[in-house]
Structures are given as C-alpha cells and as structure tokens.
Amino acid sequence: MPTTDQPAEQDPLADAQAGPQNGPGAGDTDMLEGASDGPAAAATSFSRDELLKIYYGRLFPFEEFAKWLAYGHDSKHPRADATFFQRREFCFTLDGDIFIRYQSFKDKAELQAAVNSRQPAKIDIGPLYNVPPQRRNAYSGLGSERAFAPVERELVFDIDLTDYDDVRTCGKEGHICQSCWPLMALAIQVLDRGLREDFGFQHILWVYSGRRGVHAWVCDARARRLTDEQRSAIATYFAIYKGQENGVVKLALTQTLHPSVQRAYTLLEEAWRERILPEQHLLEDEESWQGILRYIPDEDVREKLQGRWSSGRQNVEGNINTFRWLDLAAEVEKARASAQRSKDFSGAHGLRRACEEIVFAHAYPRLDMEVSKKMNHLLKAPFCIHPKTGKVCIPIDPAAADEFDVDAVPTTSQLVAELNNAPADRPSKGSDWQYTSMAAPMQSFSSCFLESLVASNRASMNSQVQSAVAAPSLAW
C-alpha cells in the first residue's frame, strides 16, 4: 500500500474549493469576526491571524488529538498498522471560504506542521480511506476493489439549537445562553444513555461545537466500521422528532412507548418542568400556550384551560409556567379518567399521551440526520476554533452536561492572555494549555474518553496477537 512519505503528487490547493456551497457542513462557514472573541479580547492586541498562530503553535493539543485518531496504531505493537493515520481525511477551511479537502498526513508531526503553516480558520475530520486521500488520483479508473473509498469512520451526531427556535424564547439562530442550554444537555443525556445501554458503545466523545450546538463521536471499533445503512438505522432509532406541520411537531411514537423512549421521557419530563418551562416562559403568554394546547385532543379541556389562563384571576404561587403545567396535567388526567369510565378507550388513550407528546415535541433531541447517515460526511474537529465566535470546541463530560457553562468556554483571546500570565519558569517542553482555561477541558477529554479508549485499543491488539498465536498452523 502506498504511503505519504513523499510529497503529494499535486499541491493540496488543487483541491481547494471556494464558496460555502461546496463546504464541509452547513452553518459552519462563517469566518472569525475580529471583535467576537469575548471579554478577554481587550487583554490582547493580537489580530485574528496572530491569535490562530499562537493557538496552533502553543495550545492546540496535537499529541492527544493524534493519539485519539491513531487508535493505537501509533505504537510499535505488532498489530499496529503504520498506514492507519495517514489514510484519514482532514479538511482545512482558509480565509475566503476556501476548503482544502482530502488532506492526509503521515503522523502527528506532519499534521502539526501543516496546521501551523496553513493556520486554517476551521478543521474538519473525514473518514479513513483505503488509501491516503492525497494519493487518491493514483487509484482513479481502477477496478472496484482498488477504487478510492471510505472504509472506516466514527458514528457521529450533530445537534443544533437553531432547530429548537420554535421552543426558545430567549433568542433565535446563533444565540445560546444558560436558559436554552438545558435543551442541549438533555440531548446529550438521552443520546449518551441510549448509545451506551441500547447499543453497548463505550467510547463516546461529546464536544461543544463552539457556537450553538453539540457533536458526538462514537469511537468504538464496531461503530467506526458501520455501513451507511447501519448508521442510518441507528440514527432513525433516535429520530422521534420528524419536523413540523401547521405549527405542530410530528412525532414517531408507537402506541406503547418503547422502553428506551420511556426512559428518555423520565429525563425529559423532569427537565421540562424544572428548567425548560420556567426558563423559556412557554406558558406565560397566549401565543405560546395556545401552541401547547394544540396537542390536547379534547376540545373541552382546551377551552377550560384557555378560559382560566385568559382570565388572569389565578392566584399563583411560584413560577406561573410550572403552575399552569400542573394545571394542564390535572385537567387532562380528569378527562382521561372520565373517558375511561365511559369506555371511550380511544379518547382515553389520546388524553393519556397528550402530556407525553407535548414534552417530546419540545424537549426531545432534534438530530441533523444527514450527518449521521453517511460515512464520508465531514465534521468539525474537537479543539479547533469556531470561525464565528473564536471559541474553542471543547469536550463535554456527559455526566455533567447540566453544569456545562457556555459563557465560560475559552476563546483564543482569553487563552493567549492567560498564556502571557503563565509562570516564566515553566518547562520549555510540554503542553502550554495546562497553564490556561484549556486545562479543565483537557482533563475531561482524558478522564472521560481518551484513557479508556487507549486501554481498549491496547487490549484489542493484544487479543489479536493471542488469537494469531493460538490459531492452528500447518507448519512442520
């Protein structure tokens, strides 16, 4: 198999593509705005390009990043594949919305050199191919067995808060704050638990996108080898939200909730009552609560609630949104019990599901399905800088997703300012990020993900060696 020890057959810029229509992902093509690096920007006088140069040169965790993507093949283990890392596609986004696809590198050092040289505004990660992407032209026109094709890729998920703009009242589009973050925290909790308990995956990396969403990278060996059809099936398994029609969310719910869906509802309902309703004020004004009442199939119940809430004479203790939700749930339950007594079983079932449907319609994860379905889809790399906000795409501990503070995510300006204040006598070699706000995210990356992945990779390779030794041999 060919290697990339020698320079590529053509300049990588030959693969550059201009314009967002050809880019790696919708919503990720905005260039970094000079004044958007947050409050720490005043602490530095560096330009955007200078900030990127310092970040890539001294703060980007190339060692840990490459160890993840090598999956143990960067070692001298007898089962290590020396071509593994160099068959991975990287895409650089340069100024002017220029996308350089099909980049590949022999090892961490070559990747680091290329990033420091190009200083991309954004880095995307693609699949592992059967040959190094930069040498793909050498395989064009060959038979199907040797044609350039993806062979492995993490199962990925992308969730964006803009898909919840009908739920959020705190802001729209690129806005994100602690009031709407619970929607992302719920998505992390529901998917992480489902992937682990229902599919048995163990090595899942959750990453803040740097602006208004989250990404998941499922890195187990069997997840990386899924076909497009299998990826689509797993994504569909979680796809309860099916868009909207006439202001009402369409839901893929069965008559009896699947155990995994029931498990998700337990998480959703508590967060709905305690965080989403009071923080998004969804039952305060008529326009909002009229939309929620549409999910109740009984006209009498809707009219009773509408009459009470419109009168403004309710003596409310505590948050009015929580009060009205409990009022709604009680009224629905009374109507359900009445329908049950009169043997209107269809009506009783519809009423029993009404509250569930409201919660699922507003709080269940809304996936970008196309990102998960295809092996060759690009996704923004962890630890790169979001081009619009200047924030670092940092890992998230799924067990502490509720506590994640989007306002505390470090920016390039902040990190450079912190680096300037680092001890002057620190070791000349080592990771400068440990003296900045990157230290905590890196600790999360290591303890919640990388350490267990490295151990699993080593155990898998050792098992392969033992199996090879134990295999029958015809040698005399």
Active site residues: 89, 158, 160
SS3 461: helix
SS3 154: coil
251 touches 360 (CB < 8 A) = yes
What the block records as the tokens of 66 is 């490459």
How far out from the chain centre does Cα 21 lie? Answer: 22
Rounded to whole angstroms, how far apart are CA atoms 99 and 123? 10
Number of Cβ atoms within 10 Å of the Cβ of 47:
10
DSSP 247: T
- The CA distances from residue 8 to 222, 403, 420, in Å, are 31, 46, 38
Enclosing H/E stretch for 29: none
User: What is the residue-wise DSSP string for 392-428?
Assistant: B--EE-GGGGGG--GGG--BHHHHHHHHHTS-TTS-S
Strand partners, 241: 251
Q: At what angle do helices 259-271 and 345-363 cross, to 10 degrees?
A: 60
The owner of tokens 């060959």 is 142
Rounded to whole angstroms, how far apart are CA atoms 78 and 85? 16
SS3 340: helix
25 touches 379 (CB < 8 A) = yes
User: How open is the CA angle 410-412-418, to the nearest 5 degrees?
Assistant: 75
396 touches 447 (CB < 8 A) = no
DSSP 198: T
DSSP 264: H
SS3 55: helix
User: What is the residue-wise DSSP string for 80-124?
Assistant: --TTTGGGEEEEEEETTTEEEEEE--SSHHHHHHHHHHH--SEEE
- The CA distances from residue 209 to 176, 282, 415, in Å, are 12, 26, 18
74 touches 108 (CB < 8 A) = yes
